[in-house]
């Protein structure tokens, strides 16, 4: 393994004598700056947990209630902090319970390192108790993985894992360590951080010729339009994006994972893109003459029917992962680069401009959306609507909270109505759409940023997938705010069944337990409301609590989320209300 490391890596060295492989692993984590990790012990990882007993002053281990909770918590920690999140599990089912989170982290570019125990080396391939081929099982859902069978390879493998996880387009890495490697004694242990791996070039060199091509298109454009993705956040380019938009006058819309990369109160911000995004950003995608995709994948939830997507526009795609360029939308100008570097160079080459008439066209469409949708959302009687809840949370927190959403209608409503002001405050499962993500991810987010208000917004379906993590919140007194919007349905699936399957509600209606009693069983203050007059007082009490708190809001059972781009439709065919 050492042969894979370059000379540039021989820095920040830690040397220790006569330690076990398990203690060497923990030394590696400390050297990488890890302070918090999430895990669940078991037989094959027990030597590491035994060594961990002596590292309680350096490593804060959070015992989750399920390994999926560990990996989602590590994701939340990474997404808020920008650091590598760490999760740990035993072999067999412990390791396979990480797979959902690994897949989620891969598609959403989240830097995490997962460490799994494995049976003794001499038992590999014998179907020993709790033996599963974790490396081959996780190959499709990791950026890199490795199995360590000798203690001498721990240091170089861990160094490489952290480097790969956090560089270039970030992603998940898995390290599988056999039990004998954990037990072996290393007469001399040396740890050096990795600063390069042969054949892996995470950061492409900026090509000024590509920037010049892009600048020429932008300078001659009448209706330029920028779509900001999570790459802006990952590269730390929020200020550069603001500077670029202000100099060029270009309107900016955000993808689901790009929310927070551009302030929602900026005059050039035009909204949230996608299937349930705002009306104007979708409509004007097919009206612009130059379309700039910045740190985003042109995901199907953004493009709708690709055959009907932005055919009139010249496309500039700025992306660090070359595999994403031309994968879905053909680029007229390819800029294979880090978003921050590309924006800095592009801003310098672009001419100062204003596009007031073009931006005003978004405002006119926004007015239509408000008339058609917000009248239904906010001027209503009867059941509380999800939009009312989120709008009030946004106003009460002034858009400054870290909001962690699960997957479904509440996720789309939150993305539309929470007015994000800061980067790394929108934490959600995007590409994988993992129900059960929010509760453990919110724990991780709060532990990463204890000074921030962290609110988990969850549907009644997703909440029950990882509700056991209330036990983790109780044990470690993690003061997260847990909001469950309860419509007694798997709401998004039900909406599709209503609109496209003649209201045949097959396996989507839910009989739920008493959520308040469940939360109280975990010593978490809890309340349920059904009346609109109780909403704002309950939210204030909920948000102002010094401890964790749980609020269940009963919302309309058959409320729908609009706008909506139906399956197979183009973005300009976005609906503001159901078709008759």
The catalytic position among 11, 15, 129, 188 is 129
Spell out the long-range contacts of 517-520 with Cβ–Cβ below 8 A and sequence spacing 24 or more.
518/467, 518/470, 519/470, 519/482, 519/550
Taking residue 187's Cβ as centre, other Cβ atoms within 10 Å add up to: 8
Vertex 424 angle, CA 423 and 427, to 5°: 135
Catalytic pick among 143, 166, 179, 391: 179
Please, are residues 452 and 504 in contact by the beta-carbon 8 Å criterion?
no
Instruction: Kindly give, in sequence order, each residue whose CB lies less than 8 Å from that of residue 309, ignoring residues fewer than 6 positions away.
Output: 285, 286, 303, 329, 570, 571
Q: Which among 9, 23, 32, 67 is annotated as catalytic?
A: 67
Active site residue: 130, 207, 468, 520, which one?
Answer: 130
Q: 185-192 and 314-319 as β-strands: parallel, antiparallel, unpaired?
A: unpaired
Q: Is 67 one of the catalytic residues?
A: yes
In total, the chain counts a number of residues equal to: 580
- As to burial, measured by CB atoms within 10 angstroms (0-12 exposed, 13-18 middle, 19+ buried), residue 79 is buried
Q: What is d(CA 165, CA 541) in angstroms, rounded to the nearest whole number? A: 40
Instruction: Specify the 3-state DSSP secondary structure of 554.
Output: strand
Tell me the CA distances in angstroms from 133 to 91, 96, 123, 128, 147, one per residue in order: 9, 10, 12, 11, 10
Supply 226's token pair. 């920028």
Rounded CA gap, 446 and 472, in Å? 13
Alpha-carbon distances of 238 from 227, 228, 558, rounded to whole Å: 13, 10, 38
Q: Can you read off the two tokens belonging to residue 139?
A: 């190959």
Which member of 492, 495, 497, 550 is catalytic? 492
Helix (H) or strand (E) holding 563: none
Alpha-carbon distance of 142 to 176, in angstroms, equals 12
CA separation for the pair 421, 242 (Å, rounded): 12
Question: Closest by alpha carbon to 468, among 204, 97, 20, 5?
Answer: 97
Q: Where are the alpha helices (DSSP H) in 398-509?
A: 409-417, 438-448, 460-463, 470-476, 491-500
Q: Within 13 Å of residue 355, how many CA atoms lie on the same side as its CB?
A: 30
Which burial class, exposed, middle or buried, applies to 500 when counting CB atoms under 10 A from its CB (0-12, 13-18, 19+)? exposed
Catalytic residues: 67, 129-130, 179, 492
């Amino acid at each position: 393994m050492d042969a894979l490391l370059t000379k540039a890596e021989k820095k920040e060295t830690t040397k220790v004598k006569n330690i076990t492989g398990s203690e060497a692993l923990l030394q590696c984590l400390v050297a990488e700056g890890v302070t918090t990790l999430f895990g669940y012990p078991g037989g094959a990882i027990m030597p590491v947990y035994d060594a961990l007993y002596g590292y309680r002053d350096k490593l804060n281990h959070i015992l989750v209630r399920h390994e999926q909770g560990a990996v989602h918590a590590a994701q939340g920690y990474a997404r808020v902090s920008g650091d590598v999140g760490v999760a740990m599990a035993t072999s067999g089912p412990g390791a396979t319970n990480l797979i959902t989170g690994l897949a989620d982290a891969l598609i959403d570019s989240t830097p995490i390192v997962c460490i799994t125990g494995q049976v003794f080396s001499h038992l590999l391939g014998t179907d020993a108790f709790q033996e599963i081929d974790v490396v081959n099982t996780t190959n499709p859902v990791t950026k890199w993985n490795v199995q360590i069978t000798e203690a001498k390879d721990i240091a170089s493998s861990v160094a490489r894992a952290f480097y790969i996880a956090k560089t270039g387009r970030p992603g998940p890495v898995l390290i599988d360590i056999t039990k004998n490697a954990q037990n072996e004694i290393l007469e001399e242990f040396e740890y050096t951080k990795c600063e390069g791996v042969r054949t892996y070039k995470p950061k492409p060199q900026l090509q000024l010729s590509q920037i010049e091509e892009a600048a020429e298109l932008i300078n001659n454009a009448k209706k330029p339009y920028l779509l900001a993705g999570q790459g802006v956040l990952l590269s730390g380019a929020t200020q550069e994006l603001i500077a670029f938009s202000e100099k060029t006058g270009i309107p900016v819309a955000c993808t689901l994972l790009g929310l927070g990369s551009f302030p929602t109160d900026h005059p050039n911000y035009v909204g949230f893109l996608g299937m349930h995004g705002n009306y104007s950003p979708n409509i004007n995608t097919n009206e612009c003459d130059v379309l700039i995709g910045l740190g985003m994948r042109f995901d199907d939830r953004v493009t709708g029917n690709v055959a009907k997507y932005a055919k009139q526009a010249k496309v500039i795609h700025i992306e660090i992962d070359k595999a994403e360029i031309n994968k879905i939308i053909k680029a007229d100008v390819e800029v294979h680069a880090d978003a921050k570097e590309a924006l800095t160079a592009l801003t310098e080459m672009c001419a100062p401009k204003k596009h007031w008439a073009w931006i005003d066209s978004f405002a006119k469409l926004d007015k239509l959306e408000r008339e058609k949708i917000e009248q239904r959302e906010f001027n209503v009687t009867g059941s509380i609507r999800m939009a009312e809840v989120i709008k009030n949370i946004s106003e009460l927190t002034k858009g400054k909270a870290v909001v962690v959403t699960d997957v479904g209608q509440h996720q789309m409503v939150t993305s539309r109505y929470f007015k994000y002001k800061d980067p790394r405050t929108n934490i959600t499962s995007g590409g994988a759409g993992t129900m059960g993500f929010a509760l453990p991810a919110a724990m991780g987010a709060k532990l990463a940023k204890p000074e921030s208000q962290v609110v988990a917004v969850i549907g009644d379906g997703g909440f029950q997938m990882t509700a056991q993590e209330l036990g983790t919140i109780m044990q470690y007194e993690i003061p997260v705010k847990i909001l469950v919007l309860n419509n007694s349905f798997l709401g998004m699936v039900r909406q599709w069944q209503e609109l496209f399957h003649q209201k045949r509600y097959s396996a989507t209606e839910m009989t739920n337990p008493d959520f308040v009693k469940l939360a109280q069983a975990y010593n978490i203050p809890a309340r349920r409301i059904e009346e609109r007059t109780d909403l704002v007082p309950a939210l204030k009490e909920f948000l102002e609590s010094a401890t964790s708190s749980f609020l269940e809001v009963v919302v309309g059972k058959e409320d729908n989320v609009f706008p909506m781009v139906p399956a197979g439709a183009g973005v300009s065919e976005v609906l503001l209300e159901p078709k008759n």
